[in-house]
Amino acid sequence: MNAAQFVLDVLSLGGAYALMALGLVIVYGILRLVNFAYGELIMVGGYTMFLVSGSGLPWLVMAGCGLTMAIVAGIATDYLAFRPVREKSVTAVLITSFAFSTLLQNAALLFISPRPRAVPLPELFSRTVEFAGVITPARNLITIAVAVIMLGLFSWLMRSTALGIAMRAAATNFRMARMMGIPANLIISAAFAISGLLAGTVAILWIGRIGTVVPGIGLEPLLIAFIATVIGGMRSLSGAVVGGFLLALIDTTLNYTLPQDLLKFRDAFTFSLVILILLWRPEGIVRGPASGQRT
Amino acid sequence: MRSRFLAVFASVAALTLGGGGSALGDTLTFGAPLCLTGDQAPLDTPGYRGAQVAIKALNDRGGLLGQQVEMVAIDGKTDPVTVGNAAVELIDDGADFILAPCDFDFGGPASRAAQEAGLVGLSLCASDPLYSSWSLGDKQFTLSMWNTTMGATAAEYAYNERGWRNAYVVTDQFIAYTVSLSKYFVEHFKALGGNILAEDTYNNGDNDFSAQLARLQALDEKPDVIFISSYGQDIGFIIRSLREVGYDAPVLGGDSYDDPAMIQSLGPLGNDIYFVTHTFMSADAHPEMEQFIGLFEDMFDEPPDTSFVATGWDAVMLLAQAAEIAGTTDGAAVAKALEENVFHLLTGDLTYRNAAEGHAPDKAAVLVEVKGAQTHFLGWRTPSNVPPP
């Protein structure tokens, strides 16, 4: 086993997982609710790229379209699924987020096709480079680079801008933050927009691995994001990142080391480890700020 | 929880897509508890559309046994229980035949319901040998060749026609189909004298092939041929992962490769890939193919996006021919007609063994080559000494 190869595999998978998890936890942090339509934001990004693929635009513009539509879909989730019922009951919001997810998936199924559709990829995505003695696809390095840039940008946003500080305040104690004059709707919409941006980025990187998009494409990333945030710590943004990388480390290690007969049960091993981690730290690895009531 | 919400939407979908279930009685009815939503939809929807074309064609020709035909669909929602219930409902409403989903897990419940009611049930494209009269009953069939044929055809092409001796095999653990296809390929390839260099496991949806690559790279020898049995989008991903790091040996697989989007997405890497499937969308495969494609385009205003549409057409036409021979829609008589005759279908010539032999379909397979991200018809193949299920 080549150590450099292993590290590269973990980092590139972990980068993608961390971005997925961050997009989920940013909304959870403020609303204390898992947005089950998160996977469909990734789907929207993918289908947008499919729909503009015939236009002859440069790939970066197409990727930009995908990103924009994922952000729009993120904000739409807030307006359509969360805002109307937010103050009524947790169950209602949970159900509307499921409903919105189903609505988007079935819209793709009915209006486009249940069959996969090819998404344009730049040539760069299938080129290989030699890095530290390992031949690896360039997109693995791109994934790592994009993850580093996005995480850096995100941490700057949360620490150094008024919006970021307001969002962190809202995540710690929403009611108090509102009393201090922070506009609730703006903060929540911003969280959904950022969630959409991250989902769009994931769409480009994740679908960049696969090459095609189907209505159910968001399920796997949603599941990964959910597990990563649970082990990382549901209340902490850095926890989501830690969780993403840890999950990638667990998966890759098991993939490398399990014998063939056991490899098909890999998920069982992964989840056993997740249970152990949760027994050890029930609140996740990184503890977030002590928080008040759900809003 | 998820599936319950899907249910609400799916019933809307069924109403829009479906044949509009109405007046049964004077017409002969094909009950179609197919999965039009969910994971199974990419396989069942094309067959459903092909079947719609066939129903219209039958009526244009004057119907069946002097009666008009219709198809009534209820969405099985990729849920075995829902498929079973849908089949029971269709049978209660007077269905004469049951068209079952494309997989043993999802199609089985429909066939069991048909068997209980004494009707013939036919899966559009389930290829696992579990889909047999042994497990489902003496009136149940699948239109598809079994994986025994599919795997053996691939093995014979590799060993006999191309002289490839060392195979590397990747098996996706997703469903019975992916697992048994590899099994029969390996069995037959070894029986021919081939050598399996290594076998590896993949989990559907992982989109991470790095550990498998590391193991492959650790081998002393490079394979002559790479056999990948996977499903859906993951096939393209695995092929890309292998090609990118310099494994340019030919890739071989089954009918799940029959997906234009996957092949298109491979782009410049879409070369030297071969797969065994049901048919090919050109006159090379069958003289009546152009006519079928024409009818399909008339109905849907677009060309078929996969050759799986032909399985739906064939399923309806096969049952219609068997009913014509039997002179009735009675389950036992139609089953007997299916067992005793040769049928010339878009998906190849077909004979069934008798119920004691599992209704094993003896069927030819099509070999397709992918070159320049385009599919090319290589011809029909019938493997000798198909491995036992």
On chain A, the residues whose CB falls within 8 A of the CB of B268 are 123, 126
Cβ neighbours of residue A7 under 8 Å, at least 6 residues apart? none
Which residues of chain A neighbour B267 with C-beta distances below 8 Å?
A: 121, 126
Same domain, B201 and B124: no
Residue A1 has a pLDDT of: 55
Q: Contact A36/A219 with Cβ under 8 angstroms? A: no
- Put simply, the answer to whether B232 touches A211 (Cβ < 8 Å) is no
User: What's residue A291's pLDDT?
Assistant: 55
Domain that holds residue B333: 2-144+286-358
Nearest CA in chain B to A262: B201
Domain membership of residue A139 (yes or no) is yes
For chain A, what percent of residues have pLDDT higher than 70? 97
Identify whether A112 is part of a domain.
yes
d(CA A228, CA A240): 6
Number of structural domains found in chain B: 2
A103 chain-B contacts, CB cut-off 8 A: 9
Q: In Å, how far is A56's CA from the nearest CA of chain B?
A: 16
* Chain A contact set for B243 (CB, 8 A): 126
Within 8 A of A215 by CB-CB distance, chain B residues are 41
pLDDT of the residue at B39? 83
Q: What DSSP string describes B159-178?
A: IIIS---EEEEEEE-SSHHH
Non-local (6+) Cβ contacts of A17 within 8 A are: A224, A225, A228, A243, A244, A245, A247, A248
Task: Answer whether residue A73 is part of any domain.
Answer: yes
Three-state SS for A112? Answer: coil
Q: Is residue B372 located within the same domain as residue B354?
A: no
Number of neighbouring beta carbons within 10 Å of residue A195: 28
- Closest partner residue to B244 (CB to CB) among A126, A212, A216 is A126
CATH of the domain at B160: 3.40.50.2300
Please indicate, yes or no, whether residues B270 and B306 belong to a single structural domain of this protein: no
Whole-number pLDDT of residue B2 = 40
Kindly report the nearest CA distance between residue A121 and chain B, in angstroms: 8
Residue A211 lies in a domain: yes
Give the nearest chain A residue to B10 (CA atoms): A106
Q: Is residue B238 part of a domain?
A: yes
* pLDDT value of residue A48: 96
Give the number of other Cβ atoms within 10 Å of residue B363's Cβ: 23
Same domain, B49 and B119: yes
How many CB atoms are closer than 10 A to CB B174?
20
- The verdict on residue B123 lying in a domain is yes
Best to test chain A binding among B1, B3, B9 (most A CBs inside 10 Å): B9
The ipTM assigned to this model is 0.90
Amino acid A31: pLDDT = 86
For A135, the token pair is 């031949």
B294 and B208 within one domain: no
- Measured distance CA(B345)–CA(B313) in Å, rounded: 9
Say yes or no: B324 and B339 in one domain. Answer: yes
pLDDT band at A171 (very low <50, low <70, confident <90, very high): confident
pLDDT by residue (tens digit) across A6-55? 999 999 999 999 999 999 999 998 888 889 999 999 999 999 999 999 88
Q: What is the pTM of this model?
A: 0.90
Domain of residue A153 covers: 3-219
**Quick check: is A162 in a domain?**
yes
CA distance A8 to chain B (A): 10
- Give me the mean pLDDT over the A200-209 stretch: 94
The nearest CA of chain B is from the CA of A154 a distance in Å of 26
Q: Does any domain span residue A269?
A: no
Q: Pick from B175, B199, B207, B219 the residue to mutate for testing the A interface (most A CBs within 10 Å).
A: B207
Clarify whether residues B25 and B95 are in a common domain.
Answer: yes
Please name the member of A98, A121, A137 whose beta carbon is closest to the beta carbon of B1.
A98
Mutate to test the interface with A, among B240, B273, B300 (most CBs of A within 10 A): B240
- Same-domain pairing of B260 and B323: no
Instruction: Give the pLDDT confidence score for residue A172 in this predicted structure.
Output: 84
Question: What is the model's pLDDT at position A127?
Answer: 86
Q: Are residues B100 and B159 in the same domain?
A: no
Q: With 70 as the cut, is the pLDDT of residue A79 above it?
A: yes
Interface test with A, best of B1, B15, B37, B242 (most A CBs within 10 A): B37
**Distance in Å, alpha carbon of B182 to nearest chain A alpha carbon:** 14
**B175 and B54, same structural domain?**
no
Give me the number of domains chain A comprises: 1
Whole-angstrom distance, CA of residue B305 vs CA of residue A275:
44
Residue A152 domain-assigned?
yes
> Rg (Cα) of chain B, in Å, rounded?
21
The verdict on residue A258 lying in a domain is: no
> Do B231 and B377 belong together in one domain?
yes
Residue B387 lies in a domain: no
From chain A, the residues in CB contact with B169 under 8 A are: none
Residues of chain B short of pLDDT 50, as ranges, are 1-25
Which residue in B6, B173, B212 is closest to A102 by CB distance? B6
A263: nearest CB among B45, B201, B269: B201
B242 & B376 share domain? yes
Q: Using 50, 70 and 90 to split pLDDT, how confident is the model at A125?
A: confident
pLDDT at res. A257: 93
